[in-house]
C-alpha cells in the first residue's frame, strides 16, 4: 500500500478510497481544504497507484 501525508498535526483523518480507485480520484478536490484543518493520510491500495510499487512487506 502507498500512504501519503498532508497537512498539520492537529488531528488525523484517514482517507480510504473506494474499491479499485486511487485516493487522487476520490479525494483530490478536497485534500487541500482538509489539510488546512488537520493531518491527512491518504491510502492507495496495492495495484491502484500510478507507480504500481507496493510498500507492503507482505
For the stretch 4-36, pLDDT in tens is 898 877 788 888 887 778 888 888 898 889 899
Q: What is the pLDDT of residue 39?
A: 92
Residue 40 predicted with pLDDT over 50: yes
| Domain layout of the chain by residue ranges | 2-44
Q: What is the dihedral of CA 12, 3, 42, 26, to 10 degrees?
A: -170
Q: What is the pLDDT of residue 4?
A: 84
Q: Provide the pLDDT confidence category of residue 54 given band limits of 50, 70 and 90.
A: very low
CA distance 24 to 2: 12
Cα first-last separation, the chain: 10
Amino acid at each position: 500500500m502507498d500512504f501519503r501525508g498532508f497537512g498539520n498535526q492537529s488531528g488525523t483523518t484517514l482517507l480510504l478510497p473506494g474499491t479499485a480507485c486511487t485516493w487522487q480520484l476520490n479525494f483530490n478536490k478536497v485534500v487541500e481544504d482538509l489539510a488546512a484543518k488537520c493531518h491527512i493520510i491518504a491510502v492507495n491500495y496495492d495495484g491502484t497507484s500510478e507507480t504500481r510499487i507496493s510498500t507492503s512487506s507482505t
